Chains A and B, each alone.
Chain A
Amino acid sequence: MLVAGSIERANHLLPQIQKNRIFSYSQAISGSKLILWGLFKKIVIADNLAIIADKYFDAPHSYDSFSLIIGVIAFSFQIYCDFSGYTDIALGSAKLLGFELLSNFKFPYFARDIAEFWRRWHISLSSWFRDYLYIPLGGSQKGKLIATRNTFIIFLVSGFWHGASWNFIIWGFLHAIFFIPYLLLSKNRNNVNTIVASDKNFPSISELTKIFFTFSLVCFAWIFFRAENLNDSIIYVKQLCFDAFNNPSQFLRIGQHFIYPQKNLNILWVFPLLFVEWRFRFNERSLHLSNSRKVNILFYLIISILILNYLLQTLDKEPSGFIYFQF
């Protein structure tokens, strides 16, 4: 049973249960790759980034602006790796048994606008809200005013779905605010069915700027999602903004934030993650790092070594759960 997603549709899953399934070698290999990559994202990346995020979100008033930026970036990648890692493990396990589940993540942090982000983040929930809430309310067919109202409703309901707390409501409200300009300017479907730099190795400066801008908005909203309560999230935002103005020289001493505490170096895991996901970005189900078979084997061997290593490190500790199990 999948307690956190993907949220399956009966018309997609039931026919597969009724059908006879035959073991397929290529399916099993592709499922195993998904499981390994999911485990890597959860155990190696998410759990290490959690150490940083927990520290800064537990006492935001005690840290400077730059540290709080590290904290929110750490949480952004922690929640992505935690949840998409879980989904990959579920998808891979299902593949081993001959089932194809719906995709739930398609590299959301490479999104060029907030509308694209929502087509790539928790897709099964977003599409459920679209089909069972947004469209029945009239969708975008009854004019901009109704579409704006409906957008607010689905984002607020989406926030409320995560928990009965003002934090989640404000998180949903912020995403609605970020989304509405694209809707009003009819730019919300600019990047449908395309991936950034689809015919190139690197993104253009313009694409990179759009990705960075979208990521910054998403990060800002994550502050409200992660903080214990509304008061804590306001303290986090205030400290992040005011300390940056009061003490701008901290941004010239970035290196100091990594000397002590050393655990901040865990944020460096983001770079290999982005590199690998950039290589994977054309297909979230077929995880080929390179065209060379040897490179792919070596890649999966290395991530397996890292998974084993972190498992051995945490043998005597309480196992960490998945964030989305609480929702």
Chain B
Amino acid sequence: MKRFIKISIVFFFCLLSAYAILSIFLKKEKNYNSAFVDKLSLLKKYKNQKKIILIGGSAIGWGVSAEFIEKQTGIKTINLGHYASFGFMDYQEFIIENMTKEDIVIFSPEWYFYFSPRHFDDATLDDLIKNNIEYGFLINNYKHILRSLYRPLFIPKYFSLNYDKDRVYRYNCFNNNGDIVSHCDKKPTGPKYYQLPDSIISVNQFKDVYSFLNTIVRLK
């Protein structure tokens, strides 16, 4: 009996170790959510410097230009707006640790945070944690690291129908300030630059689709 228990323990140890090693090597390709880890890394990079931090959901990420604010104010500006479903609870300690007393925080929560400030979506946060082991390391959360080691392995990519092929919601979608720029007609300037497909609609083209924008132009 003792021998059997010993063998079983050794077998399970080998199984868990082999699985953990495989999950490090068989990584899922980075997706839109992975870009948030890079945004948080930006915050850490400028930890000791006076900065403006934009915090919110994707409305901030897509709609406010930290790059423009930085040019106008001369203060390093970082856009942390990415996905409202992440909520703020999971990583707010990390934000506090990487702030100085001179920092300016511009907080623009999505509408539902007004009645549920602790809101987050389990599945979305789960995707961020499980598929980005770097996130756990960055915010020093060993439980997250463990969860990312014991996630479904990404064996061959053709077995996953959720393969990240979206042209706008993708990993390489933001500039050096963390602004999401994959929807703009101007070329991003940061290292995450990628070629926009010709068929994508630009902000200026909206007036061809939405006639109320033309009305505004006429009024002017």
Extra pairs beyond A300-B11, A305-B153 (20, CB < 8 Å): A23-B4, A25-B1, A25-B4, A28-B4, A29-B4, A29-B7, A32-B8, A262-B159, A263-B161, A265-B159, A301-B11, A301-B14, A301-B15, A304-B15, A305-B15, A305-B22, A308-B15, A308-B150, A309-B153, A312-B150
The reply to whether the CB of B44 lies closer than 8 angstroms to some CB of chain A is no
The CA of A28 and the CA of B150, in the complex, are separated in Å by 28
The reply to whether the CB of B19 lies closer than 8 angstroms to some CB of chain A is yes
The residues in A between 296 and 323 inclusive whose CB is less than 8 angstroms from any CB of B are 300-301, 304-305, 308-310, 312-313, 316
8 contacts between A and B (CB under 8 A): A28-B4, A29-B4, A262-B158, A262-B159, A262-B161, A301-B11, A301-B15, A308-B150
When distances are taken between beta carbons in the complex, the residues of chain B under 8 Å from A266 are: 159
Q: Rank and list the top 4 A-B pairs by shortest CB-CB distance, nearest first.
A: A313-B152, A28-B4, A312-B152, A309-B153
Q: Which B residue sits closest to A22, measured CB to CB?
A: B1
**Does the CB pair A23–B1 fall under 8 Å?**
yes
When distances are taken between beta carbons in the complex, the residues of chain B under 8 Å from A265 are: 158-159
The CA of A262 and the CA of B123, in the complex, are separated in Å by 24
Quote the shortest CB–CB distance from A257 to chain B (angstroms).
13
Q: Which B residue sits closest to A309, measured CB to CB?
A: B153
- Contact flags B15-55 to A (C-beta < 8 A → 1, else 0): 10011001000000000000000000000000000000000
The CA of A25 and the CA of B155, in the complex, are separated in Å by 35
When distances are taken between beta carbons in the complex, the residues of chain A under 8 Å from B71 are: none
Q: Which A residue sits closest to B12, measured CB to CB?
A: A304
Query: Taking chain B's interface residues, is the majority helix, strand, or loop, or is none over half, making it mixed?
Result: helix
Query: Known interface pairs A262-B158, A312-B152. Does A305 touch B7 (Cβ–Cβ under 8 Å)?
Result: no
A residues touching B (Cβ–Cβ < 8 Å)? Answer: 23, 25, 28-29, 32, 262-263, 265-266, 300-301, 304-305, 308-310, 312-313, 316
The reply to whether the CB of B170 lies closer than 8 angstroms to some CB of chain A is no
The CA of A308 and the CA of B151, in the complex, are separated in Å by 9
The CA of A316 and the CA of B152, in the complex, are separated in Å by 12
The CA of A265 and the CA of B160, in the complex, are separated in Å by 11
- How many B residues are at the interface, by size bracket? 20 to 34
When distances are taken between beta carbons in the complex, the residues of chain A under 8 Å from B153 are: 305, 309
When distances are taken between beta carbons in the complex, the residues of chain A under 8 Å from B155 are: 309
The CA of A301 and the CA of B15, in the complex, are separated in Å by 6
Query: Known interface pairs A265-B159, A301-B14, A305-B22. Does A25 touch B150 (Cβ–Cβ under 8 Å)?
Result: no
The reply to whether the CB of B165 lies closer than 8 angstroms to some CB of chain A is no
Q: Which A residue sits closest to B152, measured CB to CB?
A: A313
The CA of A74 and the CA of B74, in the complex, are separated in Å by 64
When distances are taken between beta carbons in the complex, the residues of chain B under 8 Å from A304 are: 11, 15
The CA of A317 and the CA of B161, in the complex, are separated in Å by 16
When distances are taken between beta carbons in the complex, the residues of chain A under 8 Å from B150 are: 308, 312
The reply to whether the CB of B218 lies closer than 8 angstroms to some CB of chain A is no
The CA of A119 and the CA of B155, in the complex, are separated in Å by 38
Q: Which A residue sits closest to B153, measured CB to CB?
A: A309
**Does the CB pair B3–A25 fall under 8 Å?**
yes
**Does the CB pair B152–A309 fall under 8 Å?**
yes
Quote the shortest CB–CB distance from A95 to chain B (angstroms).
12
- Contact flags B112-142 to A (C-beta < 8 A → 1, else 0): 0000000000010000000000000000000
When distances are taken between beta carbons in the complex, the residues of chain B under 8 Å from A28 are: 4
The CA of A304 and the CA of B22, in the complex, are separated in Å by 13
The CA of A308 and the CA of B7, in the complex, are separated in Å by 19
Query: Known interface pairs A262-B158, A262-B159. Does A301 touch B152 (Cβ–Cβ under 8 Å)?
Result: no
The CA of A263 and the CA of B158, in the complex, are separated in Å by 8
The CA of A264 and the CA of B150, in the complex, are separated in Å by 26
The CA of A305 and the CA of B155, in the complex, are separated in Å by 12
When distances are taken between beta carbons in the complex, the residues of chain A under 8 Å from B22 are: 305
**Does the CB pair A312–B151 fall under 8 Å?**
yes
When distances are taken between beta carbons in the complex, the residues of chain A under 8 Å from B18 are: 301, 305
**Does the CB pair B19–A308 fall under 8 Å?**
yes
Quote the shortest CB–CB distance from B174 to chain A (angstroms).
29
When distances are taken between beta carbons in the complex, the residues of chain B under 8 Å from A262 are: 158-159, 161
Q: Which B residue sits closest to A31, measured CB to CB?
A: B4
Q: Which B residue sits closest to A307, measured CB to CB?
A: B15
The CA of A268 and the CA of B60, in the complex, are separated in Å by 46
Quote the shortest CB–CB distance from B22 to chain A (angstroms).
7
When distances are taken between beta carbons in the complex, the residues of chain B under 8 Å from A25 are: 1, 3-4
When distances are taken between beta carbons in the complex, the residues of chain B under 8 Å from A29 are: 4, 7
When distances are taken between beta carbons in the complex, the residues of chain B under 8 Å from A316 are: 123
When distances are taken between beta carbons in the complex, the residues of chain B under 8 Å from A312 are: 150-152
- Contact flags B141-156 to A (C-beta < 8 A → 1, else 0): 0000000001111010
The CA of A304 and the CA of B1, in the complex, are separated in Å by 22
Q: Which A residue sits closest to B150, measured CB to CB?
A: A312
Report which residue of A32, A262, A310 has the largest number of chain B beta carbons within 10 angstroms of its beta carbon: A262
When distances are taken between beta carbons in the complex, the residues of chain A under 8 Å from B1 are: 23, 25
Q: Which A residue sits closest to B126, measured CB to CB?
A: A316
Q: Which B residue sits closest to A32, measured CB to CB?
A: B8
Query: Known interface pairs A23-B1, A25-B3, A32-B8. Does A305 touch B19 (Cβ–Cβ under 8 Å)?
Result: yes
